[in-house]
Structure 1
Amino acid sequence: MQKIVVLGSSNVDTTLHVENFPKPGETINAQKVTEASGGKGANQAVAAAKSGSETHFISRVGDDALGTWMLDQLTGYGVLTDRVLKTEGVKTGHAYITLNSEGQNDIIIDHGANYELTPKDVEGAKAVIEDADCVIAQLETPIAATIAAFKIAKAAGKTTILNPAPAIKDLPKELLNLTDVITPNETESALLTGITISGDADLEKNAVKLHELGLKYVIITYGSKGAYVSSPVFTGLVPAFKVKAVDTTAAGDTFLGFLAGGLASDLGNLHDATVFACRASSLAVQKLGAQPSIPDRAAVEAALKEG
């Protein structure tokens, strides 16, 4: 069993279901409103746990009812939450999502307690990080905390995976130097490299630029087309599995959790782990919600057998 540590955000997701996105200045009616546990960090932790991995989560929630509810949700999905800290006087993070009939979404985030995560919090989880096979982080929590976690991981010889989302143009060199695998989507990659992705050839150009920044293993998720991998063990496009998307909210997070859950310690099976992650993501987009849509390992393995 893989041991995974995820450092990142915890949000309550409020989703407005609409036929079409409103135009500037337009007022429209929502078809319905739903709530679920979310946040990129929490989503990835749930996905890692559902992949069959022992998963520890480092995060902060508010000292409010939603914070308690988030902890209950995470525990229910099998995530170990002893390093999820309650933050006095601060609200739990909240994401407001507009979801259209095509399964596409817009998201606005109120970070709340997520921005209170500190390097000191990470130091308190040092033993957990040193015992892990892999550490995952995103950019919905302070970068200083991520750097602290990756320093501990690298000193212990563990794999680090950075999901640079939401996109930030100039990531600290220190963070990039501590990252083994970077996993931007095409928009995030273009911001990092300055190279717009308008076709498959641009994926290779982006990967080359990311390698020049010191990143050895690059995976650019490419929406309905799949994921482009550039690494010492495999380079090429891993095609997506063709499905009818209902809600893409947690697609990328599902990919990350299952990628980590499928990776060997030497990263030699990167291609197979990417296929595994793509299949998991294809199942997630066929259901509504973030964490509720994430499949378990048995469902993904069964789907892979079906093709």
Structure 2
Amino acid sequence: MKKVIVFGSINMDLVARSPRLPIPGETILGRDFFTAPGGKGANQAVASARLGIPTQLVGRIGDDNFGRSLLTHLQTFGVQTEHILIDKTAHSGVAIIAVDDSGQNNIIVVPGANGCVNGTDVKNLINLWDNAAVLLLQFEIPLTAVISAAKAAKSVGVKVILDPAPAQIDIPDDFYPLVDIITPNEIEAAQLVGFPVNNFDTAANAASVLLQKGVGTAIVKLGAQGVYCATADSTFFISAFRVQTVDTVAAGDAFNGGLVAAIAEGRSLREGVVWGAAAGAISTTKPGAMSSMCDRETLDRFLNERGFSG
């Protein structure tokens, strides 16, 4: 089994629950509040590690209580944290999350130390390439660092997987050919291609545009509809797994964790998408981010019950 390297954000989530999400300018009463470790990079590292894959996280935290708590949580979940830098000049990143009774959410991310990630952190990746199958990237750290990391991975033959979240419009054209697999949801795909993405046909069109931009494989996540996947040679669609949704926070992160775990085990792209869809579905049945990531036994049982081999 090869290892997964995640280069990305590490946040403390500040979560408020309410019957519904407020409209702009409105104040409503919530009924619950809690803090939980999060950040797309950290969530995806936990999702991979929980599935039994050796997973190294590279990023930054602040020299504060949130940072120390985040480091402890990551280690508890089995993530290798030796290359997480403690930044004494910035606070740890935070995400302010509102969740309603249907499980929908909105999120404000304040980067903190994540916004300070730079070439020094990219250099920390150089000693990690040995036996690495995948470098997993997101956009909650500076784009310049993401691009540099992708170039470094590409130069040594490590597969680059990009979760283009949060959505951005200023991605340079020469970045796309560095990406082996891109995994946007509907909103992110629409932002990347310039037209609405909300069903099978528009997902297929978006994937085609992303392939034309130079990515190797485009995986468009359509939430409850399923997942569309396209390469230069083939396309397929995986229907969403039906579950009782409690909280959609970090479902996309769980998907990416499942996908990279399958790739690290040398499984096929289709198996990777199925694992991702299953891990994402399972995560929506529990509240929170890292705490909603499933272990390997749970994933295998879930897939077996639905006619898939784990």
| TM bracket, shorter-chain basis | over 0.9
Structure 1 counterpart of 2:95, which letter? A
Deviations 1:86-109 (A, max 9, x none): 111310000000000000000011
**RMSD after superposition:** 1.4
- Corresponding pairs, count: 306
Name segments (4+ residues, structure 1) moved above 4 Å.
none
- Distance in 2 between residues matched to 1:231 and 1:45, nearest whole Å: 25
Deviation at 1:233, TM superposition (A): 5.8
Q: 1:183-262, aligned counterparts within 5 Å?
A: 183-232=183-232, 234-262=234-262
- Distance in 1 between residues matched to 2:299 and 2:228, nearest whole Å: 20
SS of the equivalent of 2:129 reads helix
1:90 aligns with 2:90: yes
User: In structure 2, what is the equivalent of residue 292 of structure 1?
Assistant: 291
- Distance in 2 between residues matched to 1:230 and 1:177, nearest whole Å: 15
The question of whether the paired residues in 2 share the 8 Å contact of 1:139 and 1:165 is answered with yes
- Distance in 2 between residues matched to 1:127 and 1:68, nearest whole Å: 24
Q: TM-score, normalised by structure 2?
A: 0.95
Worse-superposed segment, 109-118 or 139-148? 139-148
- Distance in 2 between residues matched to 1:67 and 1:50, nearest whole Å: 21
The 1:174–1:232 alpha-carbon spacing in structure 2 relative to 1, beyond 3 Å, is closer
Structure 1 counterpart of 2:180, which letter? D
Deviation at 1:264, TM superposition (A): 5.8
User: In structure 1, what is the equivalent of residue 110 of structure 2?
Assistant: 110
- Distance in 1 between residues matched to 2:36 and 2:64, nearest whole Å: 16
Worse-superposed segment, 233-242 or 183-192? 233-242
SS of the equivalent of 1:58 reads strand
Deviation at 1:256, TM superposition (A): 0.3
The question of whether the paired residues in 2 share the 8 Å contact of 1:203 and 1:220 is answered with yes
The answer for unaligned runs of 5 or more in structure 2 is: none
SS of the equivalent of 1:108 reads strand
Deviations 1:135-169 (A, max 9, x none): 00000001121122212211111110011100001
User: In structure 2, what is the equivalent of residue 270 of structure 1?
Assistant: 269
Give me the identity figure in percent: 37
1:24 aligns with 2:24: yes
Worse-superposed segment, 125-134 or 235-244? 125-134
The question of whether the paired residues in 2 share the 8 Å contact of 1:221 and 1:228 is answered with yes
The question of whether the paired residues in 1 share the 8 Å contact of 2:3 and 2:264 is answered with no
Q: TM-score, normalised by structure 1?
A: 0.96
1:57 aligns with 2:67: no
- Distance in 1 between residues matched to 2:192 and 2:175, nearest whole Å: 13
Deviation at 1:18, TM superposition (A): 0.3
SS of the equivalent of 2:15 reads strand
- Distance in 1 between residues matched to 2:283 and 2:164, nearest whole Å: 21
Structure 2 counterpart of 1:241, which letter? F
1:301 aligns with 2:297: no
- Distance in 2 between residues matched to 1:69 and 1:265, nearest whole Å: 31
- Distance in 1 between residues matched to 2:102 and 2:233, nearest whole Å: 36
